[in-house]
Amino acid sequence: MLFSIIINAILVTAAVTIHYEMLYQLAKKLPSVPILPRFRVLLGVFTIILAHIFEIWLFALGYYLMINLEGLGALSGNFNQSLLDCSYFSFTSYTTLGFGDIEPSGHIRFLTGLESLTGLVLITWSASFLFLEMQKYWPKK
């Protein structure tokens, strides 16, 4: 149980830290990128999407680790124990889509809830950031 809590804390802390640092660097460097302002917003969008994908894969590695350690839980259903299936489950959890074709059991269920909460917060944080960036670069009417 304690090991599960430690893994969960490390994954959430890493995802939030990565996201914070990425947004901070974008805010700092985006104004000086020598491209048209409207393309700066697009650059921000694609950079943020890449950060989300990296964070999702981080959680996928956490799932893969937890299902391969005895007593930390399992994923069942349309699942073959591969890292690719862990990433699929992570994508559906992070985005709170949750198809339900893969079901967590044991301590891993807590990570699923934490990933959904973390994903929701980071996605809304990204949307807020992009809204502010769009206000800076888009012409006022």
Domain assignments of the chain as residue spans, ordered by start? 2-137
Contact between 38 and 138 under an 8 Å Cβ cutoff? The reply is yes
Q: Averaged over 117-140, what is the pLDDT?
A: 91
Tokens representing residue 68 in the block: 């391969």
User: Tens of pLDDT along 80-108?
Assistant: 999 999 999 999 999 999 899 999 999 99
> What pLDDT, on a 0 to 100 scale, did the predictor assign at position 13?
98
> What pLDDT, on a 0 to 100 scale, did the predictor assign at position 19?
98
> What pLDDT, on a 0 to 100 scale, did the predictor assign at position 140?
74
Is beta strand 74-77 parallel, antiparallel or unpaired with respect to 102-105? antiparallel
Q: What percent of the chain has pLDDT over 70?
A: 99
User: Tens of pLDDT along 21-49?
Assistant: 999 999 999 999 999 888 998 999 999 99
> What pLDDT, on a 0 to 100 scale, did the predictor assign at position 7?
95
> What pLDDT, on a 0 to 100 scale, did the predictor assign at position 138?
74
E-strand spans in the chain? 74-77, 102-105
Is the pTM value of this prediction over 0.75? yes
Residue 137 has pLDDT above 80, yes or no: no
Beta-bridge mates of residue 121 = none
CA distances 91 to 28, 57, 108, 120, 138, Å, are 29, 8, 15, 12, 31
Q: Kindly indicate whether the domain formed by 2-137 is annotated with CATH number 3.30.70.2080.
A: no
